[in-house]
Amino acid sequence: MKITEAKVILSCPGRNFVTLKIMTDEGIYGLGDATLNGMEKAVVAYLENYCIPALIGKDPCRIEDIWHYFYRGVYWLRGSVSLTAISAIDMALWDIKGKSLNTPLYNLLGGKSRDRILVYCHANGKDAEETIDKVGEKISKGFRAVRVQSGVPGIEDAYGVPKDDRPYEPAAKGLAHEETWDTTKYLNFLPLLFRKVRDVYGENVHLLHDAHHRCTPVEGARLAKELEPFHLFWLEDPVTGELQESLRLIRHHSTTPIAIGEVYNTIFDHTTLITEQLIDYIRMPLVHGGGITHMLKVAAMASVYHINTGFHGATDLSPVNLAAALHFNTAINNFGIQEYMPHQDIVHEVFSINYRYDDGFMFVDDSPGIGVDIDEKKAAEYPYEMASLPVNRKTDGTIFYW
Ligand code: GCO
Ligand code: MG
């Protein structure tokens, strides 16, 4: 088999998605997600100008070799833009392999290790009261695991809370808008919130929280310690983790499980975290973590150290990534949980999907390959609209992590 053509489809059904389509001389094509929120066109340019011309004529069956061609073979290692491009190529090649062998992706990864995929949803409200109601709504929809985010008294823009009644979506049209942040108010509020949530709903639901990189290591340690009585499933991104050693401080002070890595892109971002057992869940998703080929290695290394996966699954990752993640989660032994933020209906006008949510779990069907398709005519009806993630400042104006 030979790759004859490849193209990038940039479309905005409610939000921007970048999709790579690789075609072969046998008429089989594969799809890969290449969406990097707020940096879409950078990935498009890399794919169109450099990767696609080099793909033409290659044998799509040689997935491992092609992965290393674009990773090791390119002198400039690592980085979100290039790893997102590599991820898309890799997903599309696994999709082609599955279709050519007429078998679902999970079968190529070792077959089923489980029948259903535990997912967590988001409950978010403008204050503690509304947030507690939202948690109840999610529990009544069958969710076994709920991420709890709330507006914080005295902070105008808490992460994860929508400003209107629409579902939460952090990217807004145009250039980045600025938000303000106050860690002291947040740290004082959060344990009180979780105490109330546990008082109302008891212990029979998994609770998660995303600190979204906004603590220093010692603040993260305090937060993890003070949340300990409420038995979180995980505390996500207490620190950015650029400095992997910073997780030691948190670990030494608390048994609250830690999830990290949605902004990472290679195994080298995790090596200290994994080998020193400083974390419990890996967040790096297929779409930004080098695709299936690389994530198989990350998951295998993590499994040795009792660390499970908990892939990022926000709405800025396309249905192609979600379906691929569900196959991956079906196959590996050390799956932990999958984030599930349902896409708006308009997204499914462009992408036809092969997965479903039912009573706290997700299921992917047996269609060959990844199993998601794209309607290119529909995609063209929703042209790209520039959108950016916010920029964050402390109350005195200092730039901070968003
Ligand atoms: C999450 C994430 C997202 C990101 C978003 C950025 O845990 O789901 O933190 O909300 O902020 O995906 O593009
Ligand atoms: Mg997050």
pLDDT single digits (tens) 80-101:
999 999 999 999 999 999 999 9
User: Given the CA of residue 168, which atom of ligand 1 is nearest to it?
Assistant: 10
**Does residue 133 share a domain with residue 75?**
no
**Does residue 120 share a domain with residue 65?**
no
* Domain enclosing residue 257, as ranges: 108-367
The Cα–Cα gap between 36 and 34 comes to 7
Pairing mode, strands 391-394 and 178-181: parallel
Among candidates 203, 248, 196, which has minimal Cα distance to 224?
248
Cα–Cα distances (Å) from 141 to 126, 135, 150, in that order, read 21, 10, 20
Tell me, what's the pLDDT at 296? Answer: 98
DSSP 236: E
**Does residue 274 share a domain with residue 233?**
yes
pTM metric for this prediction:
0.97
**Does residue 164 share a domain with residue 22?**
no
DSSP characters over 256-317: S-EEE-TT--SGGGTHHHHHTT--SEE---TTTTTHHHHHHHHHHHHHHTT-EEEE---TTS
**Does residue 258 share a domain with residue 121?**
yes
Q: What are phi and psi of 48, to 5 degrees?
A: -70, -40
Last residue of a domain, one of 104, 127, 153: 104
Mean pLDDT for the chain? 97
Q: Is residue 316 lining ligand 1, measured as CB closer than 6 Å?
A: yes
The Cα–Cα gap between 157 and 159 comes to 6
Whose atoms come closest to the Cα of 238: which ligand? 2
Instruction: Give residue 159 CA to ligand 1 midpoint distance, Å.
Output: 9
Looking at the 3D structure of the chain, how many domains does it have?
Answer: 2
Tell me, what's the pLDDT at 142? Answer: 98
- Give the distance between the most distant pair of CA atoms in the chain: 62
pLDDT tens digits along 259-315:
999 999 999 999 999 999 999 999 999 999 999 999 999 999 999 999 999 999 999
32 in any annotated domain: yes
167 in any annotated domain: yes
**Does residue 198 share a domain with residue 95?**
no
**Does residue 280 share a domain with residue 336?**
yes
SS3 41: helix
Instruction: Give residue 61 CA to ligand 2 midpoint distance, Å.
Output: 34
DSSP 35: -
372 in any annotated domain: no
**Does residue 243 share a domain with residue 123?**
yes
Tell me, what's the pLDDT at 157? Answer: 84
Q: Which residues contact 331 (CB under 8 A, 6 or more apart)?
A: 106, 109, 110, 111, 112, 113
**Does residue 205 share a domain with residue 58?**
no
393 in any annotated domain: no
97 in any annotated domain: yes
**Does residue 229 share a domain with residue 352?**
yes
Last residue of a domain, one of 84, 104, 124: 104
Q: Is residue 285 lining ligand 1, measured as CB closer than 6 Å?
A: no
pLDDT tens digits along 14-38:
999 999 999 999 999 999 999 999 9
Q: Is 175 exposed, middle or buried (0-12, 13-18, 19+ CB in 10 A)?
A: exposed
Tell me the CATH number at 132. Answer: 3.20.20.120
382 in any annotated domain: no
pLDDT tens digits along 244-257:
999 999 999 999 99
**Does residue 141 share a domain with residue 99?**
no
pLDDT of 156 strictly over 90: no
pLDDT tens digits along 311-352:
999 999 999 999 999 999 999 999 999 999 999 999 999 999
Residue nearest to atom 5 of ligand 1 (CA): 314
Q: Which residues contact 41 (CB under 8 A, 6 or more apart)?
A: 10, 384
pLDDT of 168 strictly over 90: no
154 in any annotated domain: yes
pLDDT of 149 strictly over 90: yes
**β-pair partners for 208:** 147, 234
Q: Are 372 and 353 in contact (CB under 8 A)?
A: yes
Confidence grade of residue 108 (pLDDT, cut at 50, 70, 90): very high
Cα–Cα distances (Å) from 362 to 323, 357, 370, in that order, read 10, 4, 15
Q: Are 398 and 29 in contact (CB under 8 A)?
A: no
Q: Is residue 40 lining ligand 1, measured as CB closer than 6 Å?
A: no
Whose atoms come closest to the Cα of 387: which ligand? 1
Q: In the chain, what are the helix, strand and coil shares in percent, each to the nearest 5? A: 35, 20, 40
Among candidates 258, 259, 308, 318, which has minimal Cα distance to 288?
318
Tokens of 351: 């992408």
Q: What are phi and psi of 258, to 5 degrees?
A: -115, 135
Instruction: Give residue 262 CA to ligand 2 midpoint distance, Å.
Output: 6
Residue nearest to atom 4 of ligand 1 (CA): 314
Tell me the CATH number at 56. Answer: 3.30.390.10
- Please give the share of the chain, as a percent, with pLDDT higher than 70: 100
Last residue of a domain, one of 81, 104, 127: 104
**Does residue 112 share a domain with residue 98?**
no
User: Given the CA of residue 160, which atom of ligand 1 is nearest to it?
Assistant: 10
245 in any annotated domain: yes
